[in-house]
Structure 1
Amino acid sequence: MMTRSKKIMVVDDEAGIRALLSDALIQEGYNVTLAVNGADSLRQLDNRRFDLLITDINMPKLNGLELIRMMKKRGRREKVILISGESMDHTRLNKESMPVFAQLKKPFRVDHLLETVISALGSNGSRQKRRKNAA
């Protein structure tokens, strides 16, 4: 497996979702940091840089949209993938100048999430090349 040095933070209040995302991303060679809510994420963002943030929208203490607003105020430039059980209007996100790369609606397929991550990070299909080599 090809190792990637890309750093991804996963923010979700559901332990099962955090574990699912973390396991899938680590298996693909990403460096993963977990946060239980937006406030926890902001504390960790004070000390580290990430290439991508994957966050739930509905969380206690500080939800995903509030987290993105706070990141923007702090000058953070990480790309963001939103995950939620509810649909979010991309037009509204764009009007608010939210740096959202994509939104995935729960339940989502892990392979779709990984394709979205690769696209967000600008990889050129290295995952597919590995699949061909494994066949």
Structure 2
Amino acid sequence: MKKEILVVDDQPGIRLLLQEIFTNEGYHVTLAKTGKEALNILDNSSFDLLMLDYKLPVVDGVQVIQQLEHDKVEIPIILMSGLSEEIVEESQKFKLVKKVLEKPFNVQDVSDFTKSLIG
């Protein structure tokens, strides 16, 4: 069975790029534009990995992580940001965050880390 990845980013280009990368790697990909949309999707489906943008409209990435940890949802998260230095320290307080990716990111690094994390 295909591994499931939820990609959450308000930039269409990033969503489509990650969808293409992961689909080509054999994963099933679901896309969301906002943190609120992501939480709604996560209420009804389970995923093997969450690729989450730090800065999102309405409900930001940190709020999504806080809600998941509050609800005791076990899902590894790769947090994406253009401001990685600022968020690395903040993200360390969340056990679900496995990596912080700085935008723009190296496609091969994303692919390799995803494989090492979820197979």
Alpha-carbon shift at residue 91 of structure 1 (Å) = 4.0
Q: 1:93 aligns with which of 88, 91, 98?
A: 91
Aligned length in residues: 118
Alpha-carbon shift at residue 85 of structure 1 (Å) = 0.2
Uncovered stretches (5+) of structure 1, i.e. residues with no partner: 124-135
Uncovered stretches (5+) of structure 2, i.e. residues with no partner: none
Q: 1:83 aligns with which of 80, 83, 86?
A: 80
Q: Pairwise CA RMSD of aligned residues?
A: 1.3
1:111 maps onto 2:108 in alignment: yes
State the structure with more CA Rg.
1
Q: 1:46: which partner in 2?
A: 43
Query: Structure 2 CA distance, aligned partners of 1:29 and 1:69?
Result: 30
Q: 2:24: which partner in 1?
A: 27
| TM-score, length of structure 1 as denominator length | 0.82
Q: Percent identity?
A: 36
Structure 1 runs (4+) deviating above 4 angstroms are none
SS in 2 for 1:75: coil
Query: Structure 2 CA distance, aligned partners of 1:91 and 1:38?
Result: 21
Larger RCO (alpha carbons 8 Å, 6+ apart):
2
Q: Which amino acid aligns with 2:31?
A: L
Q: Which amino acid aligns with 2:16?
A: A
